[in-house]
Amino acid sequence: MNDYYADLGVSRDASPEEIKRAYRRSARRLHPDVNPGPEAEEQFKKVSQAYDVLSDPEKRRSYDMGADPYAGGTSGFGQNFSFSDIMDAFFGQGSGGAGRGPRPRRQRGQDGLVRQEIDLETAVFGGETELLIDTAVLCPTCHGEGAQPGTGRRVCDICGGRGETQHVQRSFLGQVMTTRPCMACQGFGDIITHPCHDCSGDGRVRQRRPLKIRVPAGVDTGTRIQLQGQAEIGPGGGPNGDLYVEVRVRPHETFTRRGDDLHTRIEVPMTAAALGATLVLETFDGVQDIVLAPGTQPGETITLKGLGVTHLRGSGRGDIIVHIDVRTPTRLDAEQERLLRELAAARGEERPTGKVAPADHGLFGKLKDAFKSR
């Protein structure tokens, strides 16, 4: 059985597009009009048969499993072999006289992507922002027609308005008629006799315009907002493409976002942590009281429920997580040192021995401790 992959010069995991490209290269090189002779003709038959098998998913699967894809009696070109693929390989266009007709001048505009910075508060609650976009708009002179006012278009003399021309070429199968886009009118079927001076016949001009967008609550850096029909207008006054606005949230001086929660750190003196205190925190919902319980330890957290970022999908909001940092004094005057020593004596802490904290045993250690406690 032939090695079809070797015949086409592709690997066994080649994609259908790679197989098609390899076949076209080989077919052009081995075509009898380019490379006459029995040896080239035989090679052409081999690559054509290889393409017939590898371009058909069922035949390729059967061949990869070691079966003969022509076991049913088919040989040479298979029933599913595309004759247009041979013509594509030779001439770059489909064969036959079936016309596609002229292509329209009016086409949809391309989609656009812009980036916009917003502050954290806008991400929390949503809001409006304005940006300037440089885009294509309808030509005010010709209104998308592409021709100078008062002039028009004429039917192409070469293709007669069909937008394509037919050519007869010789091949090993005989004379073959191919269809190609008309070079004179670029496939439109008509010619603009006097192109618009402002848009050069394109029907659109560049312009910078402001655009207000509504930012939904809960967006984060990387979120894209789709604005339908807000990108450039298409050639010939075609419909606008869609504009995508990619959001970037500016860093905030107080809060750091993690998911829909907002985290912040508050530094408190040692005495406030020991005795307890009530602090204030400025949030996006106004001033909130932070109540420190007596004996608050460094690293403890206080949660303010429902004051974080609005959930982008669904209802409700995240939380504010306040991390407590306890500040130990580094410089004491004589009176402060005396008072602290008296406190240490009263608590029996003149000679602290310290406690060694248990090491983190990880998952298995925690499971072991859990079983011991039963």
Q: Tens of pLDDT along 274-313?
A: 999 999 999 999 999 999 999 999 999 999 999 999 999 8
Q: Are 162 and 155 in contact (CB under 8 A)?
A: no
Give pLDDT, residue 80. 42
For 8-17, 31-40, 49-58, which range has the lowest pLDDT when averaged over its residues? 31-40
Residue 294: CB partners within 8 Å, gap ≥ 6?
A: 274, 275, 276
361, pLDDT greater than 60: no
Percent of the chain exceeding pLDDT 90 equals: 51
Report the CATH fold assignment for 112-249. Answer: Chaperone, DNAj Protein; Chain A (2.10.230)
Q: Tens of pLDDT along 68-111?
A: 666 544 444 444 444 444 555 454 444 444 446 788 999 999 99
Nearest to 35, CA basis, from 176, 177, 171: 171
Higher-confidence residue of 18 and 89: namely: 18
User: Strands (DSSP E) along the chain, which ranges?
Assistant: 112-118, 127-138, 153-155, 164-171, 174-181, 190-192, 204-215, 224-227, 243-249, 256-258, 261-269, 277-283, 286-292, 301-304, 320-327
Give pLDDT, residue 31. 64
CATH top class, domain 4-72: mainly alpha
Report the CATH fold assignment for 263-353. Answer: HSP40/DNAj peptide-binding domain (2.60.260)
List the domain boundaries for the chain.
4-72, 112-249, 263-353
CA 365 to chain centre: 43
Q: Tens of pLDDT along 185-204?
A: 889 999 998 999 999 999 99
Taking the model in full, what pTM does it have? 0.62
Give pLDDT, residue 170. 67
Q: How confident is the model at residue 171 (pLDDT cuts 50, 70, 90)?
A: low
